[in-house]
Amino acid sequence: MEVFERLAIKPLEWRDGAVRWIDVSRLPWEERVVETRDVERLAKAIERLEIRGAPAIGVAAALGIAMAAYNSDAETVEQLLRDVERAAERLRRTRPTAYNLFWAIDRMLGTARRAAQSGDTDGLRRTLVEEALRVMREDIEANMTMGRIGAELVEDGDTILTHCNTGALATAGYGTALGVVRAAWEQGKKISVIATETRPLLQGARLTVWELVKEGIPVRLITDNMVGYVMAKGLVSKVFLGADRILLTGHVTNKIGTYTIAVLAKRHRVPFYVVAPTSTIDPRTRPEDIVIEERSPEEVRTVLGKLTITVPNVEVYNPAFDTTPPELVSAIITEKGIARPPYPESLSKLLGKRSAR
Ligand code: MRU
């Protein structure tokens, strides 16, 4: 059976030249599916976090480039390539931190430029659709493999703390860190999850809880500032979370609050595991050059734009991500295996040829 058919939650779909997604900014109140053939609409969906999570935005960009080619009325390969490059350029400007976005766009452009040499416009369109579907399929397969590998680190009775949303809704399906939780649960391990709410946009409270409740996996929700207390009380066996960008040094950039959890995990000797596909590993950037997205002050001044919780126009700082240094990371689980310190060696080995470029 095609891997897409095995998914309980389908966050992204390709429908004859259109891209479809679950608008996760409306969950858990409304399960709305949106469809478009317009690259600008798709780019806006990524900017507004209707589609979010590093692997999901990478897959959405790949589908967006295929969509631009499929719907282009270009008559020559040169014109078609220009349309594809314009779409890629727009999608590249949506969000700066998640590496999967740039990885997927570069992969699609590389494929487009190679296929363009044949001079066949329809062939180029077909190749790009096939490549985008391959990017999507590979993401799901990577998640299922990471789930299996990561579940070996989970013991019966464990309570797993997670942050943000790393589930089906953050990927093409199944999930990264939440994929490990899913796999351990499917293996019959009696586990439970502590999910942080993840201010300001509440991906933990809205999305992780929604996914776990749907599967019947026991979950308790805490606010972000409770992590130290629950660890000090011995309530957390392991931390599993995802990543937006992992450097070869082992620096892990992920949702704001991850660094705080890592420091607390070290203090309380709780293993801190990162789960991400190799498409999240950035072999070139140095730690000091990582771009951390800063988002609108309104996200902090209000609760999801609905309730103002402070004095109007108070100055706000709203970084969407932080970076955890390698000495706080117990292991990084990828679809190619588990990397352990020292990361420059273990991650380069996992990446193989890609790390040498
Ligand atoms: O701002 P978001 O919701 O896109 O941030 C997402 C995260 O930080 C996730 O933890 C990360 O992308 C890993 S998802 C598998």
Domains of the chain: 2-144 (1.20.120.420), 148-355 (3.40.50.10470)
- Is the confidence at residue 7, as pLDDT, over 90? no
* Alpha-carbon gap, residue 53 to 171, rounded angstroms: 6
- Residue pLDDT, tens place only, 302-331: 999 999 999 999 999 999 999 999 999 999
Ligand 1 pocket check for 278: Cβ under 6 Å: no
The tokens of 143 are what?
Answer: 């998640």
Whether the CB-CB separation of 246 and 252 falls below 8 Å is answered with yes
Q: What is the mean pLDDT of the chain?
A: 97
Whether the CB-CB separation of 121 and 80 falls below 8 Å is answered with yes
pLDDT class of 356 with cuts at 50, 70, 90: low
Output the residue whose Cα is nearest ligand 1's atom 6. 53
Ligand 1 pocket check for 261: Cβ under 6 Å: no
Ligand 1 pocket check for 257: Cβ under 6 Å: no
- Report the share of the chain in percent with pLDDT over 70: 99
Ligand 1 pocket check for 203: Cβ under 6 Å: yes
Taking the centre of ligand 1 as the mean of its atom positions, its distance from the CA of residue 312, in whole angstroms, is 29
* Residues belonging to the active site: 244
* Alpha-carbon gap, residue 336 to 172, rounded angstroms: 18
The residue whose CB lies within 8 Å of the most ligand 1 atoms, and thus the one to mutate among 48, 203, 240, 292, is: 203
Taking the centre of ligand 1 as the mean of its atom positions, its distance from the CA of residue 164, in whole angstroms, is 6
Ligand 1 pocket check for 77: Cβ under 6 Å: no
The phi, psi pair for 156, rounded to 5°, reads: -50, 130
Taking the centre of ligand 1 as the mean of its atom positions, its distance from the CA of residue 242, in whole angstroms, is 7
Ligand 1 pocket check for 171: Cβ under 6 Å: yes
- Residue pLDDT, tens place only, 84-97: 999 999 999 999 99
pLDDT class of 110 with cuts at 50, 70, 90: very high
Mean pLDDT of 133-151: 98
The phi, psi pair for 258, rounded to 5°, reads: -65, -45
> Rounded to 5 degrees, what angle do the CA atoms 155, 158, 162 make?
115
pLDDT at 1: 60
